[in-house]
Amino acid sequence: MTNYYIWTIGCQMNKAESERLGSYLEKLGYQATDIVEEADLIMLNSCVVRQSAENRVINKLNALKALKRSHPNLTLAVTGCLVNSDIDQIKQNFPHVDYFLKPGDYPPWLEKADLSSVLPQHPSPGTFVPIIQGCDNFCTYCIVPYRRGRERSRPTEEIVGEVKELVQRGVKEVTLLGQNVDSYGHDLPNKPDLTDLLNELNTIAGLTRLRFLTNHPKDMSPRLIEAIAYLDKVCEHISLPVQSGNNDILRAMRRGYTIEHYRQLISEIRSKIPNVALSTDIIVGFPSETETQFQQTVNLLSELRFDTIHVAAYSPRPGTIAAKELEDNIPPIEKKGRLNKIEQLQKRIATGINSRLLGRTVEILVEGKQKDKWQGRTRSGKLVFFSDNNARRGQLIKIRVEKTSPWSLQGKVELSNNN
C-alpha cells in the first residue's frame, strides 16, 4: 500500500483543495497516514499570504531534507501559493523537492484529473465547496492574484450537482468559497450571480445550512443582502473585510471603497438581517500608517462591534504593488503593539456579545469531538462545546448555554431534532 501525507496551511480554499486531493489519491489506491516518516508521497499545500506563513512553509521544507535523504524513493511535491511562475528559481532553493505545482495544477500522475469533481468520500457534516478561483482585484498588499490568477467561476450546474452529491454523503452545511464570492458568475454565460446560486442551492433537500466566504465591500450587492434575509438555509453570518478605518490607507491599499460606504453597508445588513453575526479582517502597520490613522481603525471597530476580527501585521509580499512602491516603514514593535491593541479591544467586545447568550438556547450542527467534548457551530458561527455520551456527529441539536468566553460557548443538550 502506498501512503500519502498532506500538510496544509492557509485559507479554507487550501483546506478544501487538500481534502479533494486526498480523496483522489485514495481513489488511486493511496492510503492516508498521520506519520510523515511512513509516507511514500508528501504534499505540502502552502500559503505565503504573510511572511509568518511563508516562514513556516520554508521551515517545513528544510525539515524534510533529511527525510528525503534517508528515503530516496519518497516523492515530495509542493503546491499552493508558494509556487510562483519562476519554478526554476524555487527548484534551486529546494532541490530535494520533486514537483512544484502552481495552485490548481496537477502532478503528472494525476494528469487530467478534475479535482473539482473529486469529492471527499467521508466529508465532515459542514464542508467547503470552492465556487470561484483567483481574484481580479489586485489590492496592493496581496499576493493572491499573482499566484492564483484571474477569476474563474465554476458553472452553477456543476456546483449544484456537487452539493447534492455531498448531501447524499451526509453533509448538512456547505460553505461556498472564493477569494471574492461577490464576483461569482461574471465570467459565465448568462452571468449568474451569487444570489442566483444561493437561490438554487437553497432548494436542495437535506441541506440545512449555507454560508459563503469572502465578501468584498465594493461588490456586495443589496440583492445579496435581501437573499441572506429571506433564504431560510443561508446563515446570518457574514465575513466582510474592511482592512482599515482610514480612507487614505484604503486608497493606498486600492480597496475600492470608502469607510462611509462600508458603514452604510453594515447598517443595511443589520437593518435587513436581525441578529446577524459579522466578522472582518484588519491589517495594521500598512506603510506610513500614522498613529491617528490606526486610531481611526480602533474607533471604527469600537463603533461597529464585530463578532470576530482577524487581525494581521502588514508584511511586504515580493512582487506586489505595495512591496514595489511603498516603504515598509512601521517598526515591527509598533506593528505588534497595534495588533495587540486590536486583539484586546476585540476580546472585550466579543466577551460582551457572547455573554448575552448566557442562559439562552442555541441550535448547533455537531461537527465532531475534540478530546472528550463534542463541538459544533451555531448559524451565526459561534463555536459551542458540550459533553454527551450519545453519538452526535452530524446532528442539529439544541444546547442551553451555561458558560461563555470571547472565543466559544459551553452548554448542555436541551433537545435533539435527530436530524
Which distant-in-sequence residues (6+ apart) come within 8 Å of 306 by Cβ?
Answer: 278, 279, 280, 346, 349
* CA 244 from centre of chain: 20
Among 137, 156, 239, 404, binds ligand SF4 (CB under 6 A): 137
* 8-state DSSP, 182: G
Q: Candidates 50, 216, 379, 382: give the one binding ligand SF4 (CB under 6 A).
A: 216
The stretch among 132-140, 156-164, 228-236, 408-416 that binds ligand SF4 (CB under 6 A) is 132-140
Asked if 144 is part of the footprint of ligand SF4 (rule: CB under 6 A), the reply reads: yes
Compare residues 143 and 384 and give the one whose CB is closer to ligand SF4. 143
- Provide the pairing of β-strand 126-133 with 173-178: parallel
Among 39, 57, 129, 142, binds ligand SF4 (CB under 6 A): 142
Q: How many helices (H) and strands (E) does the chain have?
A: 12, 17
Cα separation, 170 vs 161, in Å, equals: 15
Q: Which of 12, 62, 85, 138 binds ligand SF4 (CB under 6 A)?
A: 138
Buried b / exposed e along 358-369 (16+ C-beta atoms within 10 A): eeeebbbbbbee
244 binds ligand SF4 (CB under 6 A): no
Number of residues that bind ligand SF4 (CB under 6 A): 10
Give burial (CB, 10 Å; 0-12/13-18/19+) of 150.
Answer: exposed
Residue 11 CB, shortest distance to ligand SF4, in Å, is: 9
| Subset of residues 347 to 376 that bind ligand SF4, contact rule: CB under 6 A | none
Q: How far is the CB of 244 from ligand SF4 (least distance, A)?
A: 12
Whole-number Å distance between alpha carbons of 265 and 222: 9
* Contacts of ligand SF4 in 167-196 (CB under 6 A): 179-180
CB nearer to ligand SF4: pick between 247 and 416: 247
* Residue reference for cell 483543495: 17
> What is the C-alpha separation between 137 and 153, in angstroms, rounded?
15
Task: State in angstroms the smallest separation of the CB of 255 from ligand SF4.
Answer: 7
Nearest approach in angstroms of CB 219 to ligand SF4 is: 9
For ligand SF4, give the closer residue by CB, 255 or 379. 255
Q: Which region, judged by CB under 6 A, interacts with ligand SF4, from 87-95, 138-146, 324-332, 358-366?
A: 138-146
Considering only 16, 53, 139, 276, the residue that binds ligand SF4 (CB under 6 A) is 139
Q: Give the whole-angstrom CA distance, residue 253 versus residue 263.
A: 18
8 A C-beta contact, residue 182 and residue 214: no
- On whether the CB atoms of residues 184 and 153 are closer than 8 A, the answer is yes
Contact positions toward ligand SF4, by CB under 6 A?
Answer: 135, 137-139, 142, 144-145, 179-180, 216
